[in-house]
Amino acid sequence: MSAAGTIPVAVIGAGPYGLATAAHLRDCQVPLRVFGRPMESWRDRMPTGMYLKSTPSASSIADPTAQHRLDDFRLFDGRITGGDLYPVPIGEFIRYGLWFQERCVPALEQTTVRRIDTVRAGFRVTLADGEEFTSRQVVLATGLGAFPHLPRELTSLAEAGLASHSSEHRDLARFAGQRVAVLGAGQSALESAALLHEAGAEPTVVARADTLLFGTPPESDRSTDRALTVRLTKPGSPLGPGWSLFAFSRAPVVFRHLPDRTRLHLVRTVLGPSGAWWLRDRVEGRFRLLTGHRLGSVQESAGQVRLALQRPGGGTELLDADHVLAATGYRVDLDRLGLLGPDLRRGLRRIEGAPRLDDSFQSSVPGLYFTGLASAATFGPLMRFVCGTGFAARRISAAVAEAGR
């Protein structure tokens, strides 16, 4: 173990939010160290063959010079840039993130942070190789990895290898020839079911919603091509057209001042469970869709699963499957962030399981910042998407730079 002195700030996480924050801090000339495997969640927890739900125009990682957008990468890669009628493949987005990292955060250290503890000078950071150092400020951009939500009814099935969260599978072709019950009504559930079907599996979607929703195709390839009258009545935004989405994307600071219950409700429901417009033809009429059904009891027998589903009009429907895939989203819970030392964790004020943040993304522990999904309970649905990286990175970097003066 070695002691490496004190640094002004450590950024932990190298997905879009961590990379954007590090790029902005570098631009502010703040000395820092950045840790993580670039685009880790996207490389390890997203299925091969998926597309981003967000449009290309809303899928750029923010950098202070605005010279490293998705379109800039496509030009570098020798590709014709596509507009919003052409969804972004996961492989392209990963390559874009790696390109962004090489140019904007070249000093990234691809090692794991094992623990963060509070000390008098700030925070003691312990790395996987045993190195310890002190950082006066820490930015946590750890992404989705610690927060997948698996319904408790599936716990015993998961322990037997008969149920899993959608984030656990990069290649759904492993289920070819199997019956898979897919729980959920959102993009992850519907796209996972489509990929399963296309890989030769037999998926059945089980959704509590009475109707599956799909987005509306963009009216034009570029938002500026929309008629002026349409743009005035339904202004464009990174989250989609309409005044409400425009407000959520432009005023996340105002969102922070809403009551806790209202914020949590809006984070859950704004742009809630639905599939992208381009996914509809790959879902409807392709495999079985059980809408309005709720999960009741589950049974395991001879390596197979029987689900008792509550029908919308009453009664029970039995569904047999070889595996249950829970595309049931993510729930932020700081107790699941194992790298936080116990004293540090106890000092964090929360909104349910999420950290309560000030207007610069700082938690109740001075000098500790959270960004990305963990900040959505404070700043709203914008923080669930790549298009929120600019707002978060600008505010965090300004606060960190000011604190270091």
pLDDT for res 1: 35
Out of 136-140, 258-262, 295-299, 379-383, give the one with best mean pLDDT: 136-140
Full-model pTM: 0.92
Span 49-61, average pLDDT: 93
- DSSP one-letter code for 247: H
Task: Name the residue with tokens 């639905």.
Answer: 274
pLDDT for res 219: 73
Lowest mean pLDDT of 6-10, 226-230, 277-281, name the range.
226-230
Task: Enumerate the β-bridge partners of residue 124.
Answer: 117, 134
Interatomic CA distance for residues 85 and 74, integer angstroms: 16
Residues 6 or more apart from 89 whose CB is under 8 A from it?
50, 51, 52
- pLDDT, tens digit (0-9, with 9 covering 90-100), for 236-266: 667 777 767 777 788 888 899 999 999 999 8
Residues 6 or more apart from 136 whose CB is under 8 A from it?
6, 7, 8, 9, 121, 122, 123, 367, 403, 404
Q: Find out whether 35 and 12 touch, Cβ atoms under 8 Å.
A: yes
Q: What is the mean pLDDT of the chain?
A: 91
Higher pLDDT, 26 or 238: 26
Higher pLDDT, 376 or 239: 376
Instruction: Domain 152-214+274-326: state its class.
Output: alpha beta
Confidence of residue 230 (pLDDT cuts 50, 70, 90): low
Query: Amino acid letter at 389?
Result: T
- 306 pLDDT above the threshold of 70: yes
pLDDT for res 245: 77
- 197 pLDDT above the threshold of 90: yes
Same fold, 3-147+330-403 and 152-214+274-326: yes
- pLDDT, tens digit (0-9, with 9 covering 90-100), for 64-84: 999 999 999 999 988 776 778
Span 153-181, average pLDDT: 95
Confidence of residue 224 (pLDDT cuts 50, 70, 90): low
Q: Find out whether 52 and 87 touch, Cβ atoms under 8 Å.
A: yes
Q: Find out whether 245 and 251 touch, Cβ atoms under 8 Å.
A: no
Q: Where are the alpha helices (DSSP H) in 169-224?
A: 187-198
pLDDT for res 158: 95
Higher pLDDT, 392 or 268: 392
Phi-psi category of residue 302: left, alpha or beta, with phi > 0 → left and psi -120 to 50 → alpha: left
Domain residue limits, the chain: 3-147+330-403, 152-214+274-326
CATH number of the 3-147+330-403 domain: 3.50.50.60
- One DSSP character per residue, 91-121 reads HHHHHHHHHHHHHH-TT-B---EEEEEEETT
